[in-house]
Amino acid sequence: MIIELGHYALVLALATCLVISVLPVIGARRGDAALMAVATTGTYALFGLVAFSFGVLTWGYVVSDFSVQNVYENSHSMKPMIYKISGVWGNHEGSMMLWVLILTLFSAMVAFFGTNLPDRLKANVLSVQAWITTAFTLFILLTSNPFVRLSPVPAEGQDLNPVLQDIGLAIHPPLLYLGYVGFSVCFSFAIAALIDGRIDAAWARWVRPWTLTAWTFLTAGISMGSYWAYYELGWGGWWFWDPVENASFMPWLAGTALLHSALVMEKRDALKIWTVLLAIIAFSLSLLGTFLVRSGVLTSVHAFATDPTRGIFILCILIIFIGGALTLFALRAPTLKAGGLFQPISREGALVLNNLILTVSAATVLIGTLYPLLLETLTDEKISVGPPFFNLTFGFLMAPLLLAVPFGPMLAWKRGDLLAALQRLYLAAGLALVAGLVLFYAENGGPVLAVVGLAMAFFLIFGALADLWFRAGFGKQTASIAWSRLKGLPRSAFGTSLAHMGLGITVLGIVAVTTFETETVVEMKPGMTAEAGGFVLTFDGMRAGQGPNYTEDRGHFTIRKAGVAVADVWSSKRLYTARRMPTTEAGIVTFGLSQLYVSLGDPMADGGLVVRIWWKPWILCIWLGTVVMMAGGVVSLSDRRLRVGVPKRRAKVVAPVPGQVAEAAE
Amino acid sequence: MKAWFQKIAPHPAAATFSPQAGRRANPLTPAIPSPRLRGEGQGEGQRRLALQRIFLLLVLLFAPIHAFAVNPDEVLADPALEHRARTLSSELRCMVCQNQSIDDSNAELARDLRLVVRERLVNGDSDEQVLDYVVSRYGEFVLLKPRLSAKTLILWGAPAALALVALIVAVFYARRRANDRDPAEKLSAEEEARLGRLMDGD
């Protein structure tokens, strides 16, 4: 009965969606406040219904109700509770439910925080959000209903894919979806503005916090997914250019570009048309990612769906939304007035370069991902586009961007002075080169090109610090004045600096681990030792173990440095009983920012065991950098500028003329 | 090291479909007849059954092999050759895996290919000759870095072409904008004259 209520709530949600899709738009056309107000209340109701429906599905998992087909197929009564809950979105139907839940959550947040928006804009934005929700709710109800019952009721479920039975599944998809779906808000703002036919700097100010939020979550989601793959898949890779990874990376690239172009639009009223287009592109890439993953068109570890009807349905959603948005854009863009002018060498110019490279990179990833599919469809010829292609092309595109990053914030708006920026940065560049050489020497060398990579990474970090240094006026002012100026800098300045520094840290990790990583593959018997990263590992032997829903063989290793035991680690191979599936659980020991990664292989004929040991120097920098980037996003989000509309509205309440409030807020 | 598909269980929907599969995939509940999916056509069912059998076959074939990609017994004595072998392996696709190089894969086929690569290298082939040989056996599909040819021209050309086009558009647009603004910002002759009059006269 409860399950049917959940199903019913989802149907009601669809009905609500249809109402919000139509009435507020009409209201906005006619200037009817009552019709426009439907959007806000309707959006809250919609979120409530979807949340209830999602809660019901979760309930089915929590109590292991195997009469529900979805629960039967993806859960097991012996599974730990956390995996029962995270298992809700560990399958196609459930993950689409999560998608819609987060979509409506964002709609509700727009309704809640959007009190300072002009009524028409708000009504239109919420309506566009409802269009998207309608499409995806329909998709769930028609092709991927998670509430289907089974009869007779099975006594036990089939368990969740063991790879997914990990804390990573509890965190990674929700974060990723918060990012992916968050861009829907930017998209809706863009469409709403195009419908209205007017767009200005205020629009950018309203869109920027949502872009920042989505970007921050997407960064978190991608980074988390990367770390999850790193420790779970058992061979220490952290990025595979897998189509599914690319699907999340493309919106990130476009979103990063959007973040920067919205800045230009907000401050200088320039790049308006481009920013609107970018908002459409960012969410279109999110939709495309959803299509690629959900349709099963690229079969890989993430693609649970294999049913083509679903693929075609999402493809239709994709075509309608992207096609519709671009058509609307083509119709309205010429009527939008272009804004402020700027010289090529200026902050705007630097941000244009940023946008140029980021969008070309996103396009490159897109082409690389889709090319084999298209070629096969058109000519029946099969080719592969793998990591070597992406590393080469993406690397070439990124290098100039990374080099340019520290210059951007140093240039003035409108007309910048490259020479002055160079003068400010030469110290950072010099220090970066020294730091690169020192690290290169400390790690006992490698390809000389590594120095360039390391120096570039340090240049990003030092450049970001230099930006704050000069903004505060250290060197020109006395230290105490500079210090108080530093404290007085807007949070967004710290956000920029942190995000750029984080990028540098990530690049540092990538370059270091790519260059200095060592791999040792040995056959070991108990008592034997192997060396990696200056440590000596002794294989102590194997022990059988039993988990709640798996059996495992664990190998124990003692790690010594200069004869002294510094750590020990278990590395295991598991067999999940319900699905008879083997997995490896690598043993990972952290030393500072570096890690020792121990993975077990097959027993050999003579009783030995193949053991693979990697020394991964500085690898944690990769994810630490993303955490710093996210911190930058959060700090920037807390900037007063982005909240400035709220007190304005409160002040206006004193003058109780609704029309004026809307105008003033515009 | 591990083939992706080894980590993927049989697709749940497929597993529920046939009673045999249900039993094989789920030994804990042999007594329960697997429920059929609703509204599943007979032809559709047959197709799925076939697909699922292939999948099961694959799983059964490869599941017991749980080796690392490169085993100690494969490694060449000459470190320089071994290094070349590793680099080449990372550019060759494992044909039975999804999006994995033979360097990362533990499938039997990947192992065979790794041995082939090493054998050719030991026999004195250049990197290019090894790749040629592997391509002659498996086709272009095996290369993770596709070769530049008529059919990959767009792929390889796209990044540079896009960057160039974007740059040209940006420059063109900026120039046009600058020109557009000129008439508005500069004063017409008439305006100049009027301004002169205003300045000169009282």
Chain B residues with CB-CB distance to A389 below 8 A: 144-146, 155
Which residues from A are below 8 Å from B16, CB to CB?
A: 69, 72-73, 158
> Residue B4: what pLDDT?
36
A356·B170 Cβ contact <8 A: yes
Confidence of residue A209 (pLDDT cuts 50, 70, 90): very high
Question: Sorting pLDDT into bands at 50, 70 and 90, what band is A373?
Answer: confident
At A547, the pLDDT band (50, 70, 90 cuts) reads confident
Backbone angles phi, psi at A655, to 5 degrees: -90, 100
Averaged confidence pLDDT in chain A: 88
Cα–Cα distance for residue pair A10/A587, rounded to 1 Å? 43
CB atoms within 10 A of CB A408: 22
Most confident of A515-524, A640-649, A657-666, B46-55: A515-524
B159 and A397 within 8 Å at the Cβ level: the answer is yes
Q: Are A607 and A480 within 8 A, CB to CB?
A: no
Is the per-residue pLDDT at A131 higher than 50?
A: yes
Reported confidence tier of residue A423, pLDDT bands at 50, 70, 90: confident
Distance from CA of A355 to the nearest CA of B (A): 10
Task: Name the minimum distance, in Å, from the CA of A476 to any CA of chain B.
Answer: 36
Structure tokens at A228: 């999850």
Test A385 with B155 for CB contact under 8 angstroms.
yes
A609-616 and A518-524 beta bridge pairing: antiparallel
Region A504-511: what's the mean pLDDT?
Answer: 96
Low-confidence ranges of chain B (pLDDT < 50): 1-44, 54-68, 182
Q: Long-range CB contacts (< 8 A, 24+ apart) of A443-446? A: A443/A512, A443/A515, A443/A516, A443/A617, A444/A516, A446/A515, A446/A516
Lowest mean pLDDT among A9-18, A200-209, A303-312: A303-312
Please count the other Cβ atoms lying within 10 Å of the Cβ belonging to residue B162: 19
Comparing alpha-carbon positions, the chain B residue that sits nearest to A383 is B141
Of the candidate ranges A17-26, A244-253, A371-380, the one whose mean pLDDT is the lowest: A371-380
Instruction: Check A161 against B93: CB less than 8 A apart.
Output: no
Chain A residues within 8 A of B159 when measuring between CB atoms: 360, 363-364, 367, 393, 396-397
What residue in B sits closest to A368 (Cα-Cα)? B155
Is residue A136 a contact partner of residue A291, using CB atoms and an 8 Å limit?
no
Token couple for B195: 């301004």
Q: What residues of chain A lie within 8 A of the CB of B32, using their CB?
A: 152, 154-156
**Nearest residue on chain A to B182, alpha-carbon basis:** A341
Tell if the CB–CB gap between A235 and B104 is shorter than 8 Å: yes
Partner-chain contact B29 A352, CB within 8 Å: no
Chain A residue closest to B97 (CA)? A300
How much of chain A exceeds pLDDT 90, in percent? 58
Q: Residue B174: list chain A partners with CB under 8 A.
A: 344
Q: How large is the average pLDDT for residues A114-128? A: 92
What does the CA dihedral B9, B13, B14, B20 come to, rounded to 10 degrees?
90
The answer to whether A300 and A243 are in contact (CB under 8 A) is: yes
Give buried/exposed letters for A290-309 (b at 16+ CB in 10 A, else e).
bbbbbbbbbbbbbbbbbbee
A 10 A CB-CB count for A119 gives: 23
Q: How far apart are CA A103 and CA A50, in angstroms?
A: 10
| Contact: B72, A577; criterion CB under 8 Å | no
Report chain B residues whose CB lies below 8 A from the CB of A306: 11, 13-14
Q: How many angstroms separate the CA of residue B202 from the nearest CA in chain A?
A: 36
User: Which residue(s) pair with A590 in the sheet?
Assistant: A595
pLDDT, residue A548, reads: 84
Chain B residues with beta carbon closer than 8 angstroms to that of A338: 177
| Predicted local confidence at residue B179, as pLDDT | 67
Q: Do A580 and B27 touch (CB under 8 A)?
A: yes
Mean pLDDT of A587-596: 93
Residues 6+ apart with CB under 8 A from A330: none
Q: Identify the pLDDT of residue B111.
A: 87
Are B166 and A360 an interchain contact pair (Cβ–Cβ within 8 Å)?
A: yes
pLDDT of A651: 42
Q: Which H or E element spans position A555?
A: strand A550-561
Residues of chain A contacting residue B15, judged by C-beta atoms under 8 Å apart: 73, 158
Query: Which of these, A386, A272, A288, lies nearest to A340 by C-alpha position?
Result: A272
For residue A5, the model assigns a pLDDT of 96
Chain A nearest CA to B167, separation (Å) = 7
Q: What integer pLDDT is reported at residue A223 of this predicted model?
A: 95
Asked if A290 and A322 count as a contact pair (C-beta separation under 8 A), the reply is no
Q: Which residue of B has its CA nearest to A583?
A: B7
The per-residue pLDDT for B23 is 29
Lowest mean pLDDT among A166-180, A238-252, A642-656, B143-157: A642-656
Confidence of residue A380 (pLDDT cuts 50, 70, 90): confident
Q: Which of B145, B177, B178 sits opposite A386 (nearest CB)?
A: B145
Is B144 within 8 Å of A579 when comparing Cβ atoms?
A: no
Chain A residues closer than 8 Å to B88 by CB? none
**Contact assignment for A573 to B66 by CB distance below 8 Å:** yes
Residue pairs between chains A and B whose CB atoms are closer than 8 Å: 190
Question: A573: which chain B residues are within 8 Å (Cβ-Cβ)?
Answer: 66
With CB atoms and an 8 Å threshold, state whether B170 touches A357: no
Contact yes or no for B151 and A381 at CB 8 A: yes
Name every chain A residue with its beta carbon within 8 A of the beta carbon of B10: 579
The pLDDT-based confidence of A242 (bands split at 50, 70, 90) is confident
Asked if A243 and B110 touch (Cβ cutoff 8 Å), the reply is no
**Residues forming a β-bridge with A531:** A536
Nearest by Cα to B68 from A349, A611, A551: A611
Residue B162: name the closest of A382, A358, A301 by CA.
A358
Closest residue of chain B to A367, computed from CA coordinates: B155
Q: Is the pLDDT of residue A656 over 50?
A: no
Contact (Cβ atoms closer than 8 angstroms) between residue A139 and residue A291: no
Q: Which of A429-433, A493-497, B50-54, B77-81 is the least confident region?
A: B50-54
Peptide bond into A152 cis (omega under 30): yes
| Token pair listed for A404 | 């340019």
Q: How confident is the model at residue A72, as a pLDDT?
A: 94
Using alpha carbons, list the distances in angstroms from residue A105 to A112, A118, A248, A275.
10, 21, 20, 24
Residue A449 pLDDT grade (very low, low, confident, very high; cuts 50, 70, 90)? confident
| Helix extents (H) in A407-518 | 418-442, 449-472, 479-488, 491-516
Report how far residue A386's alpha carbon sits from residue A553's, in angstroms, rounded to the nearest whole number. 34
Q: Which residues of A touch B144 (CB under 8 A)?
A: 384-389
CA distance A295 to A308: 7
The CA distance from A134 to A100, in Å, is 9
Contact A583 B7 (CB under 8 A): yes
> What is the per-residue pLDDT for A388?
92
Candidate from B29, B162, B167 with C-beta closest to A156:
B29
